[in-house]
């Protein structure tokens, strides 16, 4: 067992019983190795992320990294938001739900490992599929250095900026965000760098 994961399970207050049940089910599969990533227990197969245990205010969940590729024969996988491309969750609000779904959880874990073994991938959304807010397009048109710097960023960094700028509902908020990150883009940095 991973010591950081042990600490996570040991200090858990909310969802304590549910977390322990989920861990027990996941650890039944001897192909998985327990790790600790993004402040949560993460289970990997040959170093590749398969499933993560996490909790929120209203529910706890198993997050399958390539959940969009699972068949979801029971219709229990949930896409967290419209912007999540690949990951899917199975959500629980009590231990009884976990116990009831135990056989399905085991099947989904096995399938997730098989998907990883196969090397299957889901084509990710391209940068061109993200709308460019008019405020940012205007900034790119008016500032050649900004345009060159933005288009030199990795696709992931470009998507990060476009996603963040597009989240703002008001034009003045989008403009303020663009101004705030202007220098970061010029410096070749991503939104989280």
Each residue's pLDDT tens digit, 98-123? 999 999 999 999 999 999 999 998 77
Show the tokens assigned to 167: 């989240």
Q: What pLDDT, on the 0 to 100 scale, is given for residue 9?
A: 93
Q: Which sign does the torsion angle of CA 16, 47, 80, 170 carry?
A: positive
Weakest mean pLDDT among 59-63, 123-127, 159-163 = 123-127
Cα separation, 150 vs 147, whole angstroms = 5
DSSP 115-158: HHHHT--PPPPPGGGSPPPHHHHHHHHH-HHHHHHHHHS-HHHH
Instruction: Please determine, for residue 124, whether its predicted confidence score (pLDDT) is greater than 80.
Output: no
pLDDT band at 4; cut points 50, 70, 90: very high
Contact 98, 22 (CB under 8 A): yes
Up-side HSE of residue 4: CA atoms within 13 Å toward CB? 10
Domains of the chain: 3-118 (3.90.1150.200), 127-186 (no CATH)
- The pLDDT value given to residue 63: 97
For tokens 């909790």, what's the residue? Answer: 55
pLDDT tens digits for 49-65? Answer: 999 999 999 999 999 99
User: How many whole angstroms separate alpha carbon 167 and alpha carbon 155?
Assistant: 18
Residue 126 phi/psi, 5-degree rounding, is -85, 160
């Amino acid at each position: 067992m991973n010591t950081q994961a042990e600490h996570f399970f040991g200090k858990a207050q909310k969802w304590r019983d549910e977390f322990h049940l989920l861990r027990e089910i996941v650890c039944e599969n001897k192909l998985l190795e327990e790790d600790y990533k993004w402040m949560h227990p993460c289970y990997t197969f040959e170093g590749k992320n398969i499933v993560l245990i996490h909790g929120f205010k209203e529910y706890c969940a198993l997050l399958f990294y390539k959940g969009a590729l699972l068949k979801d024969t029971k219709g229990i996988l949930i896409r967290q938001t419209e912007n999540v491309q690949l990951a899917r969750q199975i959500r629980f609000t009590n231990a009884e739900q976990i116990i009831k779904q135990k056989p399905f959880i085991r099947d989904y874990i096995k399938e997730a490992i098989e998907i990883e073994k196969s090397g299957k991938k889901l084509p990710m959304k391209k940068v061109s599929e993200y709308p460019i807010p008019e405020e940012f397009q205007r900034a790119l048109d008016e500032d050649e250095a900004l345009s060159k710097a933005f288009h030199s960023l990795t696709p992931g960094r470009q998507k990060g900026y476009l996603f963040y700028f597009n989240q703002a509902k008001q034009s003045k908020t989008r403009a303020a965000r663009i101004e705030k990150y202007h220098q970061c883009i010029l410096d070749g940095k991503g939104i989280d760098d």
